[in-house]
Amino acid sequence: MTTEPNLPGLVYRSHYAADTKMRARLDDLIGATFSLDLGALTEFDFQDPSFTPFSYFDESGACIANVGVYAMPLILDGRRVDALALQSVCTAPAWRMRGLFRDLVTRALKWCDERADLIILKTDTPSLYPRFGFKARSQSRFRMETAETTQDRSVETRMLDIRGDAELVKRLFRDRAPVSNTLALSDYGTIFFLEAAVNPAFALHYLPAFDAMMATCKSADGTFQIDNIIGRDIPPLSALLGALDEIPEIVEFGFPPDRLAVGVEVTPLEQMAQIMTRGPFLPDGTPFRVPASGI
C-alpha cells in the first residue's frame, strides 16, 4: 500500500478484486456513478475473474476513484487477439477535476502495455481518451429484410431466465464459437449477465440442437435486433428466425453477420457511446459492431 504524495489522505490500491470488503466499496462507487445494482453479479457468481481495479480510497475507506481492466479476448480479422478492456472508469463527484482519472488511467495503461497490444473501451465521453492514445472507431449497423428468407419452424427453442439458468449461460460462454470472423468477443460474459439481469426487453432464446443462445432486444429506433449468439455452434439464419414467435420484417445484427452468410445493408451506427481502441485493430473502413451486451 502506498500513499500518493500529491493527494494527502488518499490511498492508492490495485489488484484487490478478491478482497470482498474493498470490492464492496468499489461496487458502491460504480453503482452510484452508473446507477447500477451490482449485487446480482456477486449473488450469481458472475464477476469476471480477470477484473483488475486501479483505485483511490479516502481516509474513511470509501473508494473515490477507479479505472478497471479486464481481459477481452477477441477474434479480430480471423485471428485470436488477447486484448484488454478499460471499464468502470469513475471519480466520485466531490473528488473530480483533481487529476485522479488521469493518474489512474496512466497507471492502468502501464500495466496493460506489459500484457497486451490492444486496449479497447466504450465511452460516452470520447474526448477523454485521445491523449492516452485511443482512437474512436465508427461502428456499423447490419440490417436485412426477412421477406425472402426461409425459416425452420421445426427448431426446438426454450426461453432462458438469466438467474435461473445462470450455470447454463456460464457454460455457453466458456464453450462459445466466435459469432463473427471479423470481430467477435470471447469474454467472460459479465456485461452480458448485467444487461440480461436489468433489461426486461433483453430476451434469451436457447436452441438445444445447436447448444447456442440467441440474445434479442430492440435497437434504439425499435428495430428487432439479434444482439449476440453465444454457444458451441452458430445456428443458420433459418433456425434463428424459426426460433422466434413472430418473424420481424427487418432484423438488425449486433455483430458483423459474416458467419451467417446473409446479405445485409450496412449503414453508419449513430450513437453516443463510442468504441475506442489503442493498438492494432481492424483496417480502417472494415464494417464492425460490438454487441451492446459485450462491453
Ligand X SMILES: CC(C)(COP(=O)(O)OP(=O)(O)OC[C@H]1O[C@@H](n2cnc3c(N)ncnc32)[C@H](O)[C@@H]1OP(=O)(O)O)[C@@H](O)C(=O)NCCC(=O)NCCS
* Structural contact between residues 209 and 231, judged by C-beta atoms closer than 8 angstroms: no
For residues 33 to 52, the per-residue mask of contacts with ligand X, x marking binding by CB under 6 A and - elsewhere, is x-------------------
Looking at residues 17 to 36 of the shown chain, list those that interact with ligand X (rule: CB under 6 A).
Answer: 33
Euclidean distance between CA atoms 217 and 229, whole angstroms:
12
Q: Find the distance separating the first CA and the last CA of the chain, reported in whole Å.
A: 30
Judged by CB under 6 A, does residue 90 bind ligand X? yes
Q: Which is nearer to ligand X, 88 or 293 (CB)?
A: 88
Euclidean distance between CA atoms 243 and 111, whole angstroms:
44
Whole-number minimum distance, CB 64 to ligand X, in Å? 9
Of the candidate spans 121-129, 204-212, 228-236, 267-275, the one that interacts with ligand X by CB under 6 A turns out to be 121-129
Judged by CB under 6 A, does residue 99 bind ligand X? yes
DSSP helix/strand/coil, 4: coil
Judged by CB under 6 A, does residue 127 bind ligand X? yes
Of the candidate spans 14-22, 124-132, 193-201, 231-239, the one that interacts with ligand X by CB under 6 A turns out to be 124-132
Euclidean distance between CA atoms 112 and 119, whole angstroms:
8
Phi, psi of 250 (to 5 degrees): -120, 135
Euclidean distance between CA atoms 87 and 117, whole angstroms:
17
Whole-number minimum distance, CB 114 to ligand X, in Å? 22
Whole-number minimum distance, CB 123 to ligand X, in Å? 4
Given candidates 102, 137, 170, 218, which one binds ligand X under the rule CB under 6 A? 102
Per DSSP, the residues of 2-26 read EE-TTSTT-EEEES-TT-HHHHHHH
Euclidean distance between CA atoms 205 and 67, whole angstroms:
34
Judged by CB under 6 A, does residue 179 bind ligand X? no
Of the candidate spans 46-54, 86-94, 176-184, 231-239, the one that interacts with ligand X by CB under 6 A turns out to be 86-94
* Structural contact between residues 194 and 42, judged by C-beta atoms closer than 8 angstroms: no
Count of residues that interact with ligand X, criterion CB under 6 A: 16
* Structural contact between residues 214 and 243, judged by C-beta atoms closer than 8 angstroms: yes
| CB count in 10 Å sphere of residue 40 | 17
Euclidean distance between CA atoms 176 and 170, whole angstroms:
10
Given candidates 3, 125, 150, 267, which one binds ligand X under the rule CB under 6 A? 125
Judged by CB under 6 A, does residue 106 bind ligand X? no
Of the candidate spans 88-96, 204-212, 223-231, 254-262, the one that interacts with ligand X by CB under 6 A turns out to be 88-96
Q: Which residues bind ligand X (CB under 6 A)?
A: 33, 65, 89-91, 96-102, 123, 125, 127-128
